[in-house]
Amino acid sequence: MAPDLLYQLALTLVPNIGPVQARILTDYFGDAASVFKAKKSVLTKLEGIGEIRASCIKAFTDFQQAEEEIIFAQKYNITPLFLAHEKYPKRLLNCYDPPTVLYYKGQADLNASRIVSIIGTRNKTEYGRLVTEQLVKDLSVLNVLVVSGLALGIDTIAHKAALKNNLPTVGVLAHGLDKLYPAENTSLARDIIKQGGGLLTEFRRKTKPDKHNFPVRNRIVAGISDAIIVIETDIKGGSMITAELGNSYNKDVFAYPGKTTDTKSTGCNQLIKSNKAMLLTDAQQLAEIMGWSIPAKKITRQQQELFIGLGPGEKVIIDMLREKETVHIDELNIRSSLSSSAVAAAILNLELQGIIQSRPGKMYKLL
């Protein structure tokens, strides 16, 4: 544990000092201990602090509660991540209100090169399940970290799909790490830890999963990722809050469209309609927009000739790519006589198998 940890945790306990004020203070003084040792006259003059907050800092004496948090963290192998900690999620530092301290149990890298937050309704449909599972499966080749809120519905499906496809996944909680909500996901949480993922929360122990904690939790889900993907949500769903937060943090927000008559997709459709989310249909589209190249798998020419298990559409694409070194997506759509969605599906499958490779300018070539 860091020598400054006691003061770091204590800073989160001071009345009227939230994440924004804590960052102002630590940026100015350099460490948490110096905040408590500073003169009131100096604290008062800081922009955003003032007389009332300075008085709260100088009056604070409940360091025992911070000590109890440290004891709890040590007992259960939990790592408190202060703003300056080397393992603190750096993407959150680009947000205006990063949590002062995060409590983390797990091994997944919170600063992984590619992080995707997948969110959606608790009352998912079969469409939502299929879309989520396929998306995570197709993202597995990109080695992304999958983040979600460990809630029932889409969150749960995203976490389980990540585990199934050997991707690390992190659940962000709206309560302390001394409990697990919802209880139905207790075994899932254990599996996440066991398979190298993690559980992350801003809340100290004994904090209940109260309703007002979930929007607070959602800002972590939004801020920690490169891309936020909304699978299914109604117009008033919690995922809408996360999407709004993502936009305020200048994140790339995506949404899967749904039928206009499906209430579980009204939120997604509205996000797309209002240009607050990009319409998403598959992992390949996400990879292209994010600039994430799909790694090519080594494959021999003999294996190319076999093309075992390929569908008719995929064979059509291969035949066209044999004719010239690179072919543009528009030419594949026009000459293949396939629908654009069938071409996209065939290309994605061939890329995932390492048979073809995407090139700049939406060009494709055989490997």
Position 309 scores a pLDDT of 61
pLDDT per residue as tens digits for the range 159-178: 999 999 999 999 999 999 99
Question: Do 137 and 262 lie in a common domain?
Answer: yes
Question: pTM here?
Answer: 0.79
Check the CA dihedral 52-54-59-63 and report its sign: positive
Domain endpoint, select from 244, 260, 290 = 290
Looking at 290, 318, 345, the residue that finishes a domain is 290
Please name the residue that has the structure tokens 């070539």: 365
User: Would residue 296 count as lying in a domain?
Assistant: no
Identify whether residues 91 and 119 lie together within a single domain: no
Give dist(CA 65, CA 291) in Å, integer: 46
Mean of pLDDT values over 136-141: 93
DSSP structure string for 96-159:
SS--SEEEEEE-S-TT-S-EEEEE--SS--HHHHHHHHHHHHHHGGGTPEEEE---TTHHHHHH
From 266, 290, 314, give the residue that closes a domain.
Answer: 290
146 - beta bridge partners? 116, 169
- Report the number of distinct structural domains present in the chain: 3
CATH number at residue 352: 1.10.10.10
Residues 98 and 122 in one domain: no
Full domain range(s) for residue 89: 5-106
Same domain as 350, residue 209: no
Instruction: Average the pLDDT over 12-17 and give the result.
Output: 96
Q: 259 and 316 in one domain?
A: no
**Of 278 and 341, the one with more pLDDT:** 278
Q: Is the pLDDT of residue 133 over 70?
A: yes
Q: Is the pLDDT of residue 299 over 50?
A: no
Q: What percent of the chain has pLDDT over 90?
A: 74
Within a domain: residue 295?
Answer: no
pLDDT confidence band for 260 (50 / 70 / 90): confident
E-assigned strand segments in 202-258: 227-230, 252-255
Q: Based on the fold, state whether residues 98 and 199 are members of the same structural domain.
A: no
94: CATH: 1.10.150.20
**pLDDT tens-place string over residues 57-95:** 999 999 999 999 999 999 999 999 999 899 999 999 999
**Alpha carbon 290 to chain centroid, angstroms:** 14
**Contact criterion met (CB below 8 Å) for 347 and 312:** no
* Cα distances (Å, whole numbers) of residue 150 to 227, 365, 367: 18, 40, 39
